[in-house]
Amino acid sequence: MNVLKLLEVDYRQTFQLDDAPSEADKLLKEVLEAIEEDLQCDLQIDHATFEDFEKSIISFNLLSALDEAEFDDNVTTEPPSSGTEPSSHELFVPKIPDPRAEPSQMIDLDYEKRSVAFWRNATSKKRRSLTAVQNRFTRVTSVRQLQDWEKHVKAGGSRMDKLKALRLETGKQ
């Protein structure tokens, strides 16, 4: 806005306003007025004072940082998905197995497939209860775990499982 006003002042100083304006001058005036009007409509600026701004910062406590005790690493905020790009909660992020866990405690893909297939019960199209699944597959602890395993099985397992399947497939040929 200020630039347009400076241009107007410069134009008045450079050109004689007593002369009859030409068609180009009239067109320029219309274009500049249209731009100025658009800018005024688009940029409705609230004429708040600096004191009001300071009060709003103090009221929202923006000047003090979070203490480390209050900060939670597990909570992340992200913008909503744009529709063209999947957000992080829509992507499958494989869980890295705990290296401290004993090999006997680690669960392989075949066990996950069998337990999910038993839980899904393809013949009756109804899921079996958690206790029925736990009676047959003792490593199952919750329905949430079964849902995670189902996603894991649909994705093809871990990276090592996929590489193993690829190696076996190429070995057949």
The 10s digit of each residue's pLDDT in 80-134 is: 555 566 555 555 555 565 666 555 557 888 888 899 989 988 787 788 889 999 9
Tokens 């996929």 belong to 162
What CA–CA distances, in Å, run from 135 to 114, 138, 140, 145?
A: 13, 6, 9, 15
Q: What are phi and psi of 62, to 5 degrees?
A: -85, -15
Tokens 């690829």 belong to 166
Domain locations along the chain = 1-65, 101-172
The token pair at 145 is: 């775990």
Instruction: Report pTM.
Output: 0.37
114 or 34, higher pLDDT: 114
CA 11-13-17 angle, to 5 degrees, is: 80
Q: Alpha-carbon distance 116 to 107, whole Å?
A: 13
Q: Alpha-carbon distance 92 to 162, whole Å?
A: 15
